Structure 1
Amino acid sequence: MGFRFQKRVKLGGGLGLNISRSGISPSLRTKMGTFSKNGYSTKTGISGVRYQNSGCLVFFLFTGAITFLIYTIKHL
């Protein structure tokens, strides 16, 4: 049985850092789901069920920047 370590540090506005044994990675949580360097996952409305798709880092950066801009504009 393996040992697993994972911790999320909240930075505010949905931004956060995921810390695990394999390293540190940024993520962005929205009402629709979570974007990270490994892809994105979408909430389904069913407790414990999520749709997850792996994507590239460019997609993460683009969607993260757009989501951050929309969030910032809405909360001015």
Structure 2
Amino acid sequence: MGFRFQKRIKLGGGLGLNISKSGISPSVRTKIGTFNKNGYSTKTGIPGVRYQNSGCLVLFAFTGFVTFLIYQLK
């Protein structure tokens, strides 16, 4: 079993920086899940269970933009 280190620094508005042993990466948290440079993870409603997909950066940008639009229209 490997050692895992992860720390999140909140920047406000769902934005944050994730710090791990492999480096620093930005992420955006919404009500439906988390989007970052490696893909996205979605909440399932079951504690401790999430769906994670490692998609391409274009998909990440598109889903982030759609999520932004949805929350701006509410």
Structure-1-length-normalised TM-score: 0.80
What corresponds to 2:28 in structure 1? Answer: 28
Describe the SS at the equivalent of 2:10.
strand
| Count, aligned residues | 74
What corresponds to 1:44 in structure 2? Answer: 44
Q: Is 2:13 the partner of 1:13?
A: yes
Change (3 A) 1:69 1:12: farther
Note the aligned Cα RMSD (angstroms).
1.8
CA distance in 2, matches of 1:46, 1:2: 26
CA distance in 2, matches of 1:55, 1:44: 18
CA distance in 2, matches of 1:33, 1:48: 13
CA distance in 2, matches of 1:67, 1:35: 10
Q: Percent identity between the aligned chains?
A: 84
Structure-2-length-normalised TM-score: 0.81
Unaligned runs of 5+ in 2: none
